Structure 1
Amino acid sequence: MEHRIERIGPGGWERMREVRLAQLLDTPMAFMETYETALGHGEDEWRARVERVSAAGSVGFAAVAPDGRWVGTMISFTPVPDEALLVGVWVDPAYRGRGLGVTDGLLDAVLDWAREEAGAHRLLLRVHEDNPRATAFYRRRGFALTGESEPYELDPTGLLLEMALPLD
């Protein structure tokens, strides 16, 4: 399926809202908010989210279908010098699969940003322990479990597992 990878910038708040609601319906455990909470956000919140991923030290990428819909996202930011954190990862089920290249394309864009613009030496992420498909993708791309974990905010009986990829 055709798609292009583009940087999320100002003006994308409506598509940000649309894709976030789709994310929460498809994979609620992968995100730190509920569908109901996200549905209640006003335009100002969605505009603020787009501004945050466009700010210095942050980046957002969207996989865009020929009709302009966002069919995948990856967001990264630098919480501390030398490290980037990957968040907001999602690909529409119709665009999943290694052969389609959407997830790999998004990650390649984040990796380029982390190395070249952010100057990060390591890319971190947290994946829910009950998300083996995501964990397998990250392992295939060279990420390894660090041994660190934290309770999942929306259900503390579940864990978020930390994975890291050296960028040097």
Structure 2
Amino acid sequence: MAFTIHRPAAADWERFRELRLRMLADTPIAFGETLEQSLLYIDEEWQIRAANANAGDSAAVVAVAEDGEWIGIMRGYRSTQRGPMLVGVFVDPRHRGSQAGVADALLDGIIDWAREMGSPVLRLDVHAENPRAIAFYRRRGFAPTGKILPYALPPYGDEVEMELRL
């Protein structure tokens, strides 16, 4: 299936919300908030989130199918202590796999953003019980740093810090 890469803007808030809710339903151990929390947000919260997706030290890229459906997203932000961070990674299950190329195209967009920031490294935190994501990051050159962080939401567990030298 063909897709394009798009940088979301404030006007995209409804599609941004719909994709975020799908993300949380699909992989509840990955995004630092629950589906239940997100369902309580009013429209203005989603409008602010969409508007901030590509503002300041943040970046977001979405994959858009030919029919207009958002099928994936990756976001980045600059942490004052850790540098550029990859967050909010999701590809719809129907579009996963290296043959589809969605995750690779999205990651390329975030890597470009991190390089533009002049950083030598891009970091991420991934739940230790998410082997599919860990395998993707390893395939793309990320390596564990040895830093382990507790995941704050049920089912809890650990997050593994990984980094990619740029």
Question: Which interval holds the TM-score relative to the shorter structure?
Answer: over 0.9
Could you tell me which residue of structure 1 aligns to residue 5 of structure 2? 5
Instruction: State the superposition RMSD in angstroms.
Output: 1.3
Structure 2 segments unaligned to the other structure (5+ residues) = none
Residue 85, structure 1, aligned to residue 85, structure 2: yes
The whole-number CA distance in structure 2 between the counterparts of 1:70 and 1:120 is 29
Q: After superposition, give the CA deviation of every residue in 1:67-105 in whole Å (9 maximum; x if it has no partner).
A: 111100000011128821000000000000100100000
Could you tell me which residue of structure 1 aligns to residue 113 of structure 2? 113
Could you tell me which residue of structure 2 aligns to residue 150 of structure 1? 149
Could you tell me which residue of structure 2 aligns to residue 104 of structure 1? 104
**Sequence identity (%):** 49
Structure 1 residue 9: deviation in Å?
1.5
> Structure 1 segments of 4 or more deviating over 6 A?
none
Kindly indicate whether the alpha-carbon contact (under 8 Å) linking 2:72 and 2:102 is maintained by their aligned counterparts in 1: yes
Is the partner of 1:11 in helix, strand or coil? helix
Q: After superposition, give the CA deviation of every residue in 1:13-58 in whole Å (9 maximum; x if it has no partner).
A: 1011100110011111111111111111011111111122121111
Under a length normalisation based on structure 1, what TM-score does the superposition of the two structures give?
0.94
Structure 1 residue 2: deviation in Å?
1.1
Aligned residues: 166
**Which amino acid counterpart does residue 36 of structure 1 have in structure 2?**
E
Could you tell me which residue of structure 1 aligns to residue 127 of structure 2? 128
Is the partner of 1:73 in helix, strand or coil? strand
Q: After superposition, give the CA deviation of every residue in 1:107-165 in whole Å (9 maximum; x if it has no partner).
A: 0011111102x222210000000000000000010000001111111037400110001
Kindly indicate whether the alpha-carbon contact (under 8 Å) linking 2:29 and 2:155 is maintained by their aligned counterparts in 1: no
